[in-house]
């Protein structure tokens, strides 16, 4: 996609939607930034519990990356119970590993980790 196209889309979108929404983690109540994803035309679902559990009652629950790591690495059994879809479990695994790599690279470069 060329940059003109992107800025057109962005201009159209900015009239109705903010670039991100701020919400709170359902676990620790910490801040969660949910970014608007231009390519998919909606807010990111990477930190949305309902996206993974596919349950209506979880659709407004967001988790911060710190809690995602905590759950994923320390409470695998809980995660297994929460997420019944294999596909969604794989999505979460991919996301966690992407973040892990990102964080490790930051540590290697002496940069601070911003959890969200």
Convert residues 18-57 into a mask of x (bound to Zn ion by CB under 5 A) and - (unbound): -------x-xx-x---------------------------
CB 76 within 8 A of CB 68: no
CB 57 within 8 A of CB 29: no
Shortest spacing between CB 28 and Zn ion, in angstroms: 3
CB 42 within 8 A of CB 62: no
CB-based contacts of 93, cutoff 8 Å, min separation 6 = 72
Convert residues 51-90 into a mask of x (bound to Zn ion by CB under 5 A) and - (unbound): -------------x--x-----------------------
Summarize as ranges the residues that interact with Zn ion (CB under 5 A).
Answer: 25, 27-28, 30, 64, 67
């Amino acid at each position: 996609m060329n940059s003109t196209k992107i800025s057109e889309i962005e201009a159209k979108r900015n009239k109705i939607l903010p670039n991100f929404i701020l919400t709170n983690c359902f676990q620790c109540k910490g801040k969660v930034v949910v970014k608007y994803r231009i390519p998919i035309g909606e807010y990111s679902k990477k930190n949305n519990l309902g996206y993974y559990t596919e349950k209506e009652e979880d659709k407004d629950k967001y988790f911060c990356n710190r809690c995602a790591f905590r759950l994923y690495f320390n409470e695998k059994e809980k995660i297994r119970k929460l997420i019944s879809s294999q596909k969604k479990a794989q999505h979460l695994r991919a996301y966690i590993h992407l973040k892990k790599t990102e964080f490790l690279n930051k540590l290697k470069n002496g940069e601070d980790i911003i959890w969200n």
